[in-house]
Amino acid sequence: MLAAQKSSLEANVRQRLVAIRERELEYYTDNCRHLGDLGALLAGLAFSGIRYHYLLERQHSWMVQEGDALEEVIFLSLLTITLGCGLQTVLIAMLVAMLGPSLALRGPDGSLHDAVCGMQVWNSLMLALFMTSLVMLQLSALSFIYGHKQLGFYCRSLLLGVNVLTIVLTFHYSRMVLRLFRIPHEIAVSGAFFDEFGRRLDPEIEDLPRPRQRFGALSRRCSQLRSRFSSVTPHETHEAVGLLPPTHAQPDEMDGADDRLAADADHDELDAVLDETLHLASEAFLEDRGGAHGRSRGDGMGRAGGWRQAVPLAARLVRLLLGEAPVHKQTHDGAG
C-alpha cells in the first residue's frame, strides 16, 4: 500500500514538472511558426525583386549598359542572399516545429528537456537568419535605387536618403528592443528543476559559495580575530579575552572604553564564527561527493568520506581560534 502511494505521488510530481516544462515547449513552437511565416514573406519579396528585374530588362525603357554590370550583380546577389536566408528560415522553422514536439511527446524519459534545449538553440539561429534576410532586402533596395540611372539626381538622392534612414532605424530599434527585453543567462529562469547531471537548478542555491570556500573565508576571519586578541598584552585586563578578571574603566578613560567595546564586538563575531563552523561541518558531510556515491552503492564508504572532509576543516578552524599554527599532515589511503 505504501509502495503504491509512493508511486502515485512520484507520478503526480512528474506530471506537474512536465506541465511546467511544456509551457516552454509551446513558447518555442509558436516562435518557430512566426519566424517561418515572416521568413516566407521575405523570401517572396526577394523573388518578386528578381522577377521585376527580369521584366525591366525586357523593356526598352530600362536598358542595362555595360557600365551598370556591377550594380546589377550587387542587386541580384543581395536578392539571392535574401531569398536563401528566408528559405532557410522557413525550412528550419518547419523542421523544429515538427520534430521538437515529436521528440518531447514520443521520446524516452528526459526527451522533453532535450527538445526544449534544442529548440532554444535553433530559435536563436532562425532569428539571426531572419534579421540577415531583412537587412539584405533593404540593402538590395538601396542598390536598386543607386543603379537606376534613369531617375533624376534629386529623386535618387531623396530615395537613397529614405532607404538609408530606414536601415539605420531598423538597427536602432532592433538594438533597443533586444537590450530592453534581454535576460542574461545567469539569471534566466528555466522550467527545469534539475540539469542533465541530476543537480537542482536553483539560482539562490547555486550562487551560494561551496562549504570549502566558506571554510576558507572563516579561516581568514579567525586569523584576523586571533591577531587582534594577541595584540592585547597579558598585563592588561580585557573582558573580551577572558584571561584576567574584568575591571571597570574610569569615566575619563574614553579610549579604553572604546577598545573594550570593539573587543566585545570581536568576541560576538567569534561566537558567530564558531556556530557557522559547526554548521558548515554538517554541510560538508551532507554534500560530499563520496557521500552521494556511497549511498548509491550502499557500502557505507560515503559516510566515512564525508567525515574525512568535514572534520579536518573544522579542526583547522578550532586550531586557529585557540591560537595554534595549522598543522599540514600527509594522509594516505592505507593509513588508519
- The better pLDDT of the pair 77, 232 is held by 77
Mean pLDDT of the chain, nearest integer: 71
Give me the mean pLDDT over the 150-167 stretch.
86
Q: Where are the domains of the chain?
A: 2-197, 209-322
* Residue at 131: amino acid letter: M
The secondary structure of 213-275 as a DSSP string is HHHHHHHHHHHHHHHHHHTS-TTS--TTT-SS------TT-HHHHHHHHHHHHHHHHHHHHHH
Rounded CA gap, 201 and 153, in Å? 62
Q: What percent of the chain has pLDDT over 70?
A: 52
Of the candidates 171, 165, 5, 150, the one whose C-alpha atom is nearest the C-alpha of residue 71 is 150
Residue 243 has pLDDT above 90, yes or no: no
Rounded CA gap, 290 and 139, in Å? 61
Report for 56-70, 167-181, 283-297: range of highest mean pLDDT: 167-181
- pLDDT at 334 (0 to 100): 41
- The better pLDDT of the pair 219, 5 is held by 5
- pLDDT at 233 (0 to 100): 45
pLDDT digits (tens, 9 = 90+) for 31-71: 999 999 999 999 999 999 888 877 776 665 545 555 567 77
For the full predicted model, state whether its pTM sits above 0.75: no
Residue 245 has pLDDT above 50, yes or no: no
* Cell numbers for 36: 517561418
